[in-house]
Amino acid sequence: MKVKQQTMKELPKSEQPYEKFLNVGEENLSDAELLAILIRSGTQGMSAISVANHVISAGTKEHGLLNLQLMSYQELQEIAGIGQVKAIQLKCMGELSKRITKSNRRLRLNFTIPRTVAEYYMEEYRLKQQEHLLLIMVNTKGGLIGEKVIFKGTVNGSLVSPREVFIEALQRQAVYIILLHNHPSGDPSPSGEDISLTRRMKEAGSIIDIQVLDHIIIGDHKYFSFAEKDLL
């Protein structure tokens, strides 16, 4: 016998997420209750909390709220109670949470320290299935002043233009730059192309007085720093 799930309105007021928020504050709401407030409405026979629980428990691994970032827009629509609009909303929530976290951490970090840079970008880049080459621009105090993905695909030194890199750095008035890219294999060991690219960028930077501080390669919870290995 199929048990009919309660809708949000059928729950006791003390258990409704909006009422609970007003009574005890957001820090005392469960993950599902917080997500239910953002989802706003359920679907036929299913409350917003039930839909939220489906999102949190989706997949074979227990990622919880990380599903908002890890699951694709298409995968979210396969969850009961999630249509096109809610899938878009959830992906935007995931992206906002990622940007808020990065913005908060960015204010306290010194980007002249390789480990700091690697840890800052690790979760964003270690799971990407395609190589991304990121230009990181830094001021005299080691603060991050800008970043830009300048290449996607297999990182090949001959395909990456120093001109594009340093025009961007000059426009942002960067004193230093850092190159960062990921290895989808999970092994951050540099290839011959990685070494060649680093050398070309360092030479170009010395001409216009913008120092290449580092080239960092992100693997799966591992990284390689050219600066730490004295290869710059």
CB distance 52 to 46 below 8 Å = no
For the segment 204-227, what is each residue's pLDDT rounded down to a tens digit? 999 999 999 999 999 999 999 999
Q: Where are the alpha helices (DSSP H) in the chain?
A: 17-24, 31-39, 48-57, 67-70, 73-76, 84-106, 114-125, 162-171, 192-208
Query: Six-digit token pair at 164?
Result: 């594009």
Distance CA 140, CA 228 (A): 20
For the segment 42-75, what is each residue's pLDDT rounded down to a tens digit? 777 778 888 888 888 887 667 788 888 888 889 8
Distance CA 136, CA 212 (A): 10
Cα dihedral 94, 95, 96, 99 sign: positive
Tokens 């917080």, located at residue: 34
Residue 2 binned pLDDT confidence (cut-offs 50, 70, 90): very low
For the segment 84-138, what is each residue's pLDDT rounded down to a tens digit? 988 898 888 888 887 887 777 766 789 999 999 999 999 889 888 899 999 999 9
Q: What is the pTM of this model?
A: 0.61
Listed by start position, the domains of the chain span 8-103, 110-225
Residue 3 has pLDDT above 60, yes or no: no
Which is nearest to 201 in space by CA: 230, 177, 227?
177
Distance CA 15, CA 49 (A): 10
Query: Six-digit token pair at 130?
Result: 């395609």
Pick one of 3.40.140.10, 3.40.630.30, 3.30.70.260, 3.40.50.720 as the CATH number of 110-225: 3.40.140.10
